[in-house]
Amino acid sequence: MHYSVAEHSVYVADYVVKELNRPDLELEALLHDAPEAFNGDLIRPLKYSEDFRKPFKRVERVNEIAVARRFGLIDPMPKEVKIADEAVCHTEWLQVVPRDLSEDWDVEYHNTDNKANITSAMLNPYEAKMLFLNRYAEIQKRMAMAA
């Protein structure tokens, strides 16, 4: 079983375009996790704990600024992208995260107000990479035609 940030990012871009009707934010949505390529990612229980949050957020912020500058993204990230990310994360939580039924899963580390209407395909790494790169190329082509 494999689930990648690439596949997740395409779903976030889909949500921003289709559910929030914000095609102007498609590139921001697709690249919303790009800083993780440099600072890595922490699982949500650590990312949101007081011990890890402050130092991690400082490093993450430096990389967010660098990625935004490199790709011409809106900085800070628009709230719509965060809404989409949370909706996709909620659906992933339900579809992808393995659970032992004897464990208590009452704690939520994401907003559960919205759920994305997706089925996580669990693409293999190559398929996920190609899905992401093809989407990026499509966005770049549309932006070039609009310029």
Q: What is the pLDDT of residue 48?
A: 72
Q: What is the pLDDT of residue 42?
A: 65
> Does 35 sit behind a cis peptide bond, omega within 30 degrees of 0 on the bond before it?
no
pTM comes to: 0.88
List pLDDT tens digits, range 88-110: 988 988 888 777 767 766 655 55
Report residue 114's pLDDT band, with 50, 70 and 90 as the boundaries: confident
DSSP 49: S
Give Cα 18 to chain centroid, integer Å: 16
List pLDDT tens digits, range 14-56: 999 999 999 999 999 999 999 988 877 766 677 677 777 788 8
